[in-house]
Amino acid sequence: MAEAAYPDDLLYHAEHDWARLDSRQQELATFGVTWFAQDSLGEIVFFEPPQVGSTVTQGEQYAEVESVKAVSEVVAPLSGEIVEVNEALAEESGAINHDPYGAGWLVKVRLSDPAEQEQLMDAATYAATLGSGGVGV
């Protein structure tokens, strides 16, 4: 994806992570990293999924993505238990660059506190934080 995009149906964490709440089961969410995060990192060459069953905490690191030149922590936008990981990324981590909101999803999480989503930003608010100078990743 060459142009910046921040879909309206996602919630955003300031550390450049997104969450998509399941439309039928509100306690289920999919996490990933934003267009800005993947663009800042450059081509992602390594992602090792965390363990299914492990717990994640809002605002804390739960995984890493690596480009050729750098490692970046991936922070959980919401708390819960990982119920599924995107195994395809082990072979095709470039999907995080090409399709950060689709095939580049990282994990699915059963939320322990769905009310935490009130602390996340909508697309317009998140995009505004990036500003002209952006923020570091």
Partner 1 sequence: MTASLPTMPRRTPLYERHRAAGAKLVDFAGWEMPIEYPTGLRAEHNAVRQACGIFDVSHMGQIESVGPSALGLLQRLTSNDVSAIAVGGAQYGLLCEADGGVLDDLFTYRLAEERYLTVTNASRYEHDLGRFEAQAGDGVELLDRRDELAMLAVQGPGARAIVGRLASGELPQRMQVTEQQVAGCKMLVCGTGYTGEDGVELICAAADAPGVWDELVGGGAMPAGLGARDTLRLEACFHLYGHDLSPERNPIEAGLGWCCREQTGFIGSEAVARARARGVSEKLVAFAIEGGGIAREGNPVVDGGIVSSGTLSPTLGIGVGLAYVPSERSGIGERLQIDVRGRVREALVKAKPLVAKKPSLSAVSGAALDVVDVPISSAIARVCA
- List residues near partner 1 by CB under 8 A: 2, 42-43, 45-46, 48, 64, 66-69, 71, 90
Scored b (16 or more CB within 10 A) or e, 8-37 reads eebbbbebbbbbbbeeeeeebbbbbbbbbb
User: Nearest approach, Cβ of 43 to partner 1 (angstroms)?
Assistant: 5
- Rounded to an integer, what distance in angstroms lies between the CA atom of residue 110 and that of residue 101? 19
> How far is C-alpha 4 from the chain's CA centre?
15
Nearer CB in complex with partner 1: 30/34: 34
Nearer CB in complex with partner 1: 42/102: 42
SS3 call for 14: coil
User: Nearest approach, Cβ of 133 to partner 1 (angstroms)?
Assistant: 13
> How far is C-alpha 122 from the chain's CA centre?
14
User: Nearest approach, Cβ of 55 to partner 1 (angstroms)?
Assistant: 17
Nearer CB in complex with partner 1: 47/105: 47
User: Nearest approach, Cβ of 25 to partner 1 (angstroms)?
Assistant: 33
